Each structure stands twice: as C-alpha cells, then as structure tokens.
Amino acid sequence: MNRRDFLKLSSMTALLAAREWTGLSKVFAQFPSPSKSNYLSRSNPLGNMEHRNLGGLLNVSVIGLGCLPMVGYYGGKYEKKDMIALIRHAYEKGVTFFDTAEVYGPYTSEEWVGEALAPFRDKVRIGTKFGFGVEEKQPTALNSRPDHIRRAVEGSLRRLRTDHIDLLYQHRVDPNVPMEEVAGTVKDLMQ
C-alpha cells in the first residue's frame, strides 16, 4: 500500500470512528458504573488488557481513549459527569492511555481528563498536544512558537492536574517555525 492509499484508508477509518462514538458509549454503558471504592482499590489496575511499549519508554494499553469526541466535536452534547464516568470506566476495563489536547473544547477535554484520572494518575499515561493558537484566542491558527509551547504546556499541566505529561506532541506542523526550534523547546521542557 502506498502512502496516498494509506492516508485515504486512515481518513475513512477516522470518519467511521467518529460516527461510531455513540456506539462506543453504548458498549461502556452495558457494564455497571464503577464505584469510587472500586476504581481506587483495584489490586491489578491493568486488568487483562494487552500492553505495548512505545519507544522503549512508555508502557500503554493497546486500546487508548481519545477524548476529543467528549466535547461534542463530532456532534452531540455530553455532560461532564457522564464523560468523567466514561473515562473512569475505561480505566476499570484496563485502558491506561488517554489522549487529549488543549484545543479540544478548547481546554474542556483536558480539564475533564485531569479530574477523572486524578485518583489514579500514577497508573495511567496521558498524551496531549500543542500547536494551535488557543492561548492567543486563535484556536484555528497554527502556533508552535517556543513562547506559545511553554504557555500551552503550563496550561495543560494545570488543567490535567499533574506535574508531568507522559506524551507531548505537536498537533499540526507550523510552517512558520523551524522544526529544530520546536524540538529544542520540547527538549528543554522535558529537562
């Protein structure tokens, strides 16, 4: 399969996944809601979920939960309490990787993910992204300038209620900022 065919297939898969969001919530809905004592006292937080090691550094469940649809991006309106329950239920089922971004909402997804995962933050991995001008009130404009990246990461840490981000990446390439500057800024933040 060439790159063009792969991208077409990926795009179609993403569209199908977006349409099936309510299907995913129905799957989770068939299980009883997790109680607070249940998710805090699990002796085996990983359950039977298979895991993968990313880059030799990050161990994650083979199924992750993308948290963009929770803010209504694909249609529908979801309640905060329901999405927090969904995130926690995914954890109960063995999901240990949660993907979000500052632009989702904007900010709402990170806030809900942070609240939902706070009780067991040390048992999960969170990925978030920078690269849009959210901090400058221009969420559709690309922005990967070093000063923006630093502000975006500080905001993400605060909203996610954590002192570290397990996987930080650029949402979209900003053609106005050399990739060496972006990589250098991320390296500085890592240190």
Q: Give the catalytic positions in this structure.
A: 104
Helix residue ranges per DSSP H, the chain: 3-19, 21-29, 36-40, 80-92, 108-117, 146-159, 179-190
Residue 81 token pair:
């309490």
Q: From CA 123, how far away is CA 151, in angstroms rounded?
A: 26
CB-CB contact of 103 with 140 (8 Å): no
Kindly tell me the sign of the dihedral angle through the C-alpha atoms of 55, 154, 94, 48: positive
Determine the Cα–Cα distance for residues 17 and 101; give it in Å rounded to an integer. Answer: 18
Number of helical (H) and strand (E) elements in the chain, helices listed first: 7, 8
